[in-house]
Amino acid sequence: MAVMESPAKDARAREFLSVPRKMLINGKWVDSISGKTFAVYNPATGEELAQVAEGDKADIDLAVKAARKAFDSGPWSKTPPNVRGKLLWKLSELIEKHARSFAELETLDNGKALTISGAVDVPGAVEMFQYMAGWATKIEGRTLNLSSPGFHAYTRREPVGVVGQIIPWNFPLLMAAWKLAPALAVGCTVVLKPAEQTPLTALLLGELIQEAGFPDGVVNIVTGFGETAGAALSGHDDVDKVAFTGSTEVGKIILRAASGNLKKVSLELGGKSPNVIFADADIPAAIAGSAMGIFFNQGQVCCAGSRLYVEKKVFDTVVGALSDAAKDIKLAPGMDPSCQMGPLVSQEQLDRVTRMVEGGKKAGAKATVGGEPCGGEGYFYKPTILIDTKPDMEVVKDEIFGPVLTAIPFTDPNDIAVEANNTIYGLAAGVWTRDVSKAHQMAAKIKAGTVWVNCYNVFDSSMPFGGYKQSGIGREMGPDVLELYTETKSVCIGGM
Ligand code: NAI
Ligand code: MG
């Protein structure tokens, strides 16, 4: 019998892919109650990569029960902050130790270049756990200065409780880290549901969570589909908070599902981020930064700088150079060392990007480069720049989530903030200028959670990230995220 060669090179990653993966519930690796599994695919080839347990409502119930017990009466409820911090730091070291296995599994599951998963996703996850390890001991209340005589009052910051976390497929490990680290730092327990397209690195992380020594039930990982497992988690009456990253459409479904028991909700959703290049900018830097701003991660980034506005004087220069840069990008399977852009995550995403760009072209937009899928094996799409668009076209208004830029000239710098804000979204924006006043004015005018000036796609665990308008609710990272996972209790003492 022919033995199929493993697509992984790293021994642990190979072993990981060689057997069907179970779910982590109450400290045990278990099959789904239904016994069902589902396949995950390598987007570079379309071949099956592994089988994973298919959890649904029944498995979510078990996981929530385990998380509830761990929160209310298990050892976690008595684990002091310094020990929580130590566990988080230990987990960060274990991820570092297994960095190669994580990077390979991420690349095989998601498609992104191994150089990117090794340099961005894995170190980003390590840094997030380290940053939050430091916060575990610094969650404090205040002594209040009351005007009412005869009372003494203070606040306590308490963990919100059992948290459901639903994450997407574009940065699978990193999104797990963004979600888990703050929740665990403040003392919550978690049921995590990874995206069905990319569950593998979250499951490897689960093994290391066990190895680090987190008590049973503190982190439960249920793999499965959104409409079943995800819906059960966001609608569960014994879950105190749900945190979600994904499409705006599903964010709204989750908000409604959460209303049953009024669980707390934080959402990090879609975007159509404006990136504005003024004529006085360092133009080569603006070109390089804007190319990265749209093409990084195959454009599958919620804050991708997908609406490029260029001051008319430099429009042709900028678009010409960007089109040349797009043409030069080497598309290849992520495991290929020469890969600069991998495939999209799935056939579904490839179809979506193809359909939207076709629609744009039919409506009158013109591709200076790309504008079609690569064809052949895998879900590859050519880096694309569209010009001659109109503000009401779908390609300008809606999130494409692929390597597709719309480039639009502008003449009046005073009007450009209005145009930049002409969107239902408000996740991020870019501004390129050498004029300090203009930079600060734009930063103040743009309605978005992050404004990058003379840079793009810069993330740091200490820098809050999240959306205005329909890009979401709440801020992740930085001290701000701690608000999402804690309740403030006022304690007022009489008889003083
Ligand atoms: P999605 O929003 O459906 O999936 C994200 C997560 O939500 C997955 O874990 C999925 O299982 C879960 N989910 C889906 N339906 C659910 C439900 N009814 N209840 C609870 N959980 C549910 O995103 P999808 O379908 O993979 O991608 C569609 C589009 O969404 C993309 O083209 C892109 O525009 C956007 N998107 C945005 C992301 C971001 O980072 N903001 C990430 C992924 C997708
Ligand atoms: Mg969906």
| Residues ≥6 apart with Cβ < 8 Å to 391 | 397, 419, 422
Name the residue at shortest CA distance from atom 28 of ligand 1. 247
- The predicted model gives 419-445 an average pLDDT of 98
Exposed/middle/buried for 200, CB within 10 Å: 0-12, 13-18, 19+? buried
- pLDDT score, position 5: 81
CATH of the domain at 258: 3.40.605.10
Contact 429, 446 (CB under 8 A): yes
In a domain, 467, yes or no: no
Instruction: Kindly give the pairing relationship between strand 404-410 and strand 307-311.
Output: parallel
Tally of residues, the chain:
496
Rounded to whole angstroms, the Cα distance separating 92 from 411 reads: 49
Does residue 150 share a domain with residue 55? yes
- Residue 4: its pLDDT value, please? 65
**465-466 and 475-476 strand pairing:** antiparallel
Q: Which of 180, 402, 145 is nearest to 298 (CA)?
A: 402
- Is pLDDT above 70 for 3? no
Task: Please report the pLDDT score of residue 144 as a whole number.
Answer: 97
Structural domain includes residue 5: no
Give me the mean pLDDT over the 265-294 stretch: 98
Q: What is the mean pLDDT of residues 399-406?
A: 98
- pLDDT per residue over 327-345, tens digit each? 999 999 999 999 999 999 9
| pLDDT tens digits for range 61-71 | 999 999 999 99
Q: Are residues 404 and 335 in the same domain?
A: yes
| CA of residue 14 to ligand 2 center, whole Å | 29
10 Å CB burial of residue 413 (0-12, 13-18, 19+) is middle
Alpha carbon distance 173, 198 (integer Å): 9
- State both tokens at 11: 């021994």
Q: Are residues 400 and 381 in the same domain?
A: yes
Dist CA 456 CA 355 (whole Å): 27
Model pTM greater than 0.85? yes
Averaged over 197-213, what is the pLDDT? 98
- Local structure of 352: helix, strand or coil: helix
Ligand 2: centre distance to CA 400 (Å): 14
Answer whether 130's CB lies under 8 Å from 180's CB: no
Q: What is the mean pLDDT of residues 383-395?
A: 98
Mean pLDDT of 165-182: 98
155 Rama sector, left if φ>0, alpha if ψ -120 to 50, beta otherwise = beta
Nearest CA to ligand 1 atom 14: 226
Please indicate, yes or no, whether residues 263 and 326 belong to a single structural domain of this protein: no
CA–CA dist 220, 205 (Å, integer): 11
Residues 84 and 228 in one domain: yes
The answer to whether residues 67 and 176 belong to one domain is: yes
Tell whether ligand 1 has an atom less than 6 A from the beta carbon of residue 465. no
Q: 238 C-alpha vs ligand 2 centroid, how far in Å?
A: 24
Task: From 103, 71, 340, 101, select the one nearest 217 (Cα to Cα).
Answer: 71
Could you give the CA distance from residue 118 to residue 128 in angstroms, rounded to a whole number?
15
pLDDT of residue 487 exceeding 60:
yes
**How far from 316 is each of 85, 154, 367, 421, 436, CA to CA, in Å?**
52, 61, 14, 24, 25
- State yes or no: pLDDT of 1 exceeds 70: no
Q: Which domain holds residue 106?
A: 11-269+472-490
- Asked whether 55 lines ligand 1 (CB < 6 A), one says no
Pairing of strands 475-476, 274-277: unpaired
Q: Does residue 3 lie within any of the structural domains? A: no
On the question of pLDDT at 2 being above 50, the answer is no
For 100-122, write each residue's pLDDT tens digit.
999 999 999 999 999 999 999 99
Catalytic sites, residue numbers: 268, 302
In whole angstroms, how large is the CA radius of gyration of the chain?
23
Q: Percent of the chain at pLDDT above 70?
A: 99
Alpha helices in 47-121 (DSSP H): 57-72, 81-97, 99-110, 114-116
**pLDDT given for residue 177 in this prediction:** 98
Give the tens place of pLDDT for each residue, 53-104: 999 999 999 999 999 999 999 999 999 999 999 999 999 999 999 999 999 9
CATH code assigned at 388? 3.40.309.10
Residue 383, judged by CB atoms within 10 A of its CB (0-12, 13-18, 19+), counts as: buried
Residues 169 and 261 in one domain: yes
**Domains: count for the chain:** 2
- Are 278 and 262 contained in the same domain? no
